[in-house]
Amino acid sequence: MSAPYIVAVGGTLRLESSTAKAMRLVLQAAERRGARTRLISGEALQLPMYQPDQSERVPAARALVSELALADGIVIGSPGYHGSISGLVKNALDYAEDLRDDPRPYFSGRAVGCIATAGGWQAAVNTLGALREIVHALRGWPTPLGAAINAGEQVFAADGACLVPRVAETLERIGLEVLSFAGG
């Protein structure tokens, strides 16, 4: 039996965004316990607008869908833009529709850790709620713990280290929850 595979999707076009840093910490927690991981963020999310009536996909979209299909557990991270998830992350998640005929359709049977970062608490909390609703719609199981991070405060160092112990503990726990529910 191979180690569980955890895929994180989200962030912004900047690889060093607060959201990407948070997702990396979640993946690192899972890796320390034996998981294999993959982060899909930054330019890998710069995809054409999802069009359900077109079966032709660019290589990056095919790769995203393939990685999601292989995942035993998933982490989704989004910045809060105007009180909800970013268009970039929503568009990437729309490609999960290509998994509708998969043996495990959409995110069926998989734990999904949700992370929202924003320049204030209200937007972070609203974005986290939106992510959890999307996970439900995609037949996934949001982990009991999610993270709403106020990135308006100094939360991460330039090297990605978390400067706020409570946030670091939350991200660690999300990684362990996703891994645990994925069979690790």
Domain boundaries, the chain: 5-181
pLDDT at 38 over 70: yes
pLDDT of amino acid 15: 76
Over residues 118-138, the pLDDT tens digits come to 999 999 999 999 999 999 999
Share above pLDDT 90 across residues of the chain, in percent, rounded to a whole number = 95
pLDDT averaged over every residue in the chain: 96
pLDDT at 1 over 70: no
Q: In 3D, which of 104, 102, 76 has the Cα closest to residue 91? A: 76
Terminal Cα-to-Cα distance of the chain (whole angstroms): 10
The answer to whether residues 20 and 41 touch, using CB atoms and an 8 Å cutoff, is yes
The answer to whether residues 148 and 77 touch, using CB atoms and an 8 Å cutoff, is no
pLDDT at 63 over 80: yes
Residues 6 or more apart from 81 whose CB is under 8 A from it?
87, 123
Instruction: Return the CATH number of the domain spanning residue range 5-181.
Output: 3.40.50.360
The answer to whether residues 134 and 142 touch, using CB atoms and an 8 Å cutoff, is no
pLDDT at 184 over 90: no
pLDDT at 64 over 80: yes
- Mean pLDDT in residue range 156-165: 96
Task: List phi, psi (to 5°) of 165.
Answer: -55, -40
